[in-house]
Structure 1
Amino acid sequence: IASLCSNSETSKTQPQLICIGSVKSTTRQYIIIARNDRVAIPASESLTCAVDKLFKLYWVCNVAYPPQLSSAFTFFEYIYDLTISTNRKAK
């Protein structure tokens, strides 16, 4: 994790969701890395919760969605009854 946070490329990019451990294993930890900050998702919470928190971080910080997540995050805006953003186009 320290190497990811200190990497100059990581510090310039959008928030990322990192999984420590195997996705198939029951012992895993999710961490959101944004610039040089880390947000640990409690081990008792699922991948669904981690993705939800990642979406909320993008929304609150008004960060453009990455192309890979744009459709899903726009759907989350609909589910949460948020104003569908037109200015959050993927960069």
Structure 2
Amino acid sequence: MKLRKATLGVAHKTLPCGTMLDFSFHGKSITVPVIDRGPYGPGISYDLTIQAARRLGFVDTGRGAVGVLRSSTKLTQLSAAQLPGAIPAAS
């Protein structure tokens, strides 16, 4: 999958791709799928795409303490091309 600015998702080191996570920050919330591996910086547990960070309202700060829960929603029937904002990578 090729990411673009409109892609909604998050990177996590160990959760399976497709796992849905609920994030909250200052009264805003969003549910996004794990779409990548990472982050690898010190002290960082999740790496939201730019669009997900914008929707939560902390893109200008670069980092934020967010609330996160595994969602009851399961992403089992969607292909990578159906993820929010994703476009398939060229073969």
- TMscore range, shorter length: under 0.3
**Under a length normalisation based on structure 1, what TM-score does the superposition of the two structures give?**
0.27
Using structure 2 for the length normalisation, give the TM-score.
Answer: 0.27
By relative contact order (CA 8 Å, sep 6+), the higher-ranking structure is 2
**Which structure's residues are more often helix, by fraction?**
1
